[in-house]
């Protein structure tokens, strides 16, 4: 006897979301464009204004649109950040390393050229805190280490790189956790961080990039 699966009924909000996401992905609106008003969308989709309002709130929460009180809604992005995070979370250890080679190595080269005195102060502070927790609780150390690496990327003074790393840092943390759960923490690995900061401070981009490659490839 064939099993009869239950019919899953989707809410009107889910259906509205699907239609709005489809319009975004098909390029009906461009980033920065003011979207149709709630009454216009309600009429177009054949649903109530309340349903449209809830769907728009979800899109705003996802970062796809920006709702400006008294002005309307504007398209902020065409790719859902949550979808990006889902893809990133499925990457392998080797894929994470490859991505770090592309992202962090180039960023550290720029940081060595562009770092400011304020950057160096923040980096020394982050590395000092990281060092105090290097042999302590793993999750606490990883959080400290990610702060140091994030500040290295931010020292490149490229907002696009900083934003990319902000998304990717959760994958870096997962990679570190997976590695350090197997391999004991070694002082020489932490010392690479010290050398790395010294290269940035001395504005030596090639040495900084070489050290970052070595650090990323550490088991």
Is the pLDDT score of 166 beyond 60? yes
Average pLDDT over the chain, rounded to an integer: 88
> Which pairs from 44-51 meet CB under 8 Å and 24+ separation?
45/16, 45/19, 47/12, 47/15, 47/16, 48/12, 51/12, 51/13, 51/16
Return the closest-CA partner of residue 152 out of 186, 181, 110: 110
CA dist., res. 116 & res. 71, Å (int): 39
- In tens, the pLDDT along 27-67 reads 899 989 999 999 999 999 999 999 999 999 988 988 889 99
CA dist., res. 76 & res. 34, Å (int): 10
Helix, coil or strand: residue 105: helix
Confidence of residue 11 (pLDDT cuts 50, 70, 90): confident
Is the pLDDT score of 90 beyond 90? no
Dig out the tokens for 206 from the structure: 């090639």
CATH annotation of 83-216: 1.20.120.530
CA dist., res. 49 & res. 169, Å (int): 38
- In tens, the pLDDT along 104-135 reads 999 999 999 999 999 999 999 999 999 999 99
Neighbours of 119 (CB within 10 A): 19
Is the pLDDT score of 201 beyond 90? yes
CB 97 within 8 A of CB 216: yes
Query: Which class would CATH give 12-79?
Result: mainly alpha
CB 50 within 8 A of CB 92: no
CA dist., res. 81 & res. 104, Å (int): 21
Chain CA centroid to CA 81, Å: 8
Within this chain, domains 12-79 and 83-216 share the same CATH topology? no
CA dist., res. 186 & res. 180, Å (int): 10
Dig out the tokens for 59 from the structure: 């899109």
Task: Write down the pLDDT at residue 208.
Answer: 97
pTM for the structure as a whole: 0.66
Name the strand (E) or helix (H) holding 177.
helix 159-180
Instruction: Please state the domain extents for the chain.
Output: 12-79, 83-216
Neighbours of 104 (CB within 10 A): 24
């Amino acid at each position: 006897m064939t099993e009869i699966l239950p019919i899953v009924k989707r809410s009107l909000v889910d259906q509205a979301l699907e239609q709005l996401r489809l319009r975004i992905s098909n390029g009906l609106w461009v980033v920065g464009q003011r979207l149709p008003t709630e009454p216009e969308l309600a009429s177009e989709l054949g649903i109530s204004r309340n349903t449209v309002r809830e769907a728009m709130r979800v899109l705003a929460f996802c970062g796809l649109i920006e709702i400006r009180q008294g002005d309307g809604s504007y398209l902020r992005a065409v790719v859902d950040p949550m979808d990006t995070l889902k893809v990133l979370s499925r990457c392998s250890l080797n894929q994470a390393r490859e991505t770090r080679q592309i992202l962090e190595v180039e960023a550290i080269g720029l940081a060595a050229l562009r770092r400011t005195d304020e950057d160096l102060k923040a980096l020394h502070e982050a590395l000092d805190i990281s060092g105090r927790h290097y042999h302590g609780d793993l999750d606490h150390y990883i959080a400290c280490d990610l702060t140091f690496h994030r500040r290295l990327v931010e020292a490149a003074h490229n907002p696009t790189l900083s934003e990319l790393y902000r998304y990717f840092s959760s994958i870096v943390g997962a990679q570190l956790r997976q590695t350090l759960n197997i391999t004991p923490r070694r002082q020489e690995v932490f010392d690479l961080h010290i050398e790395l900061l010294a290269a940035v401070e001395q504005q030596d981009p090639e040495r900084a990039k070489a050290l970052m490659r070595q650090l990323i490839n550490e088991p």
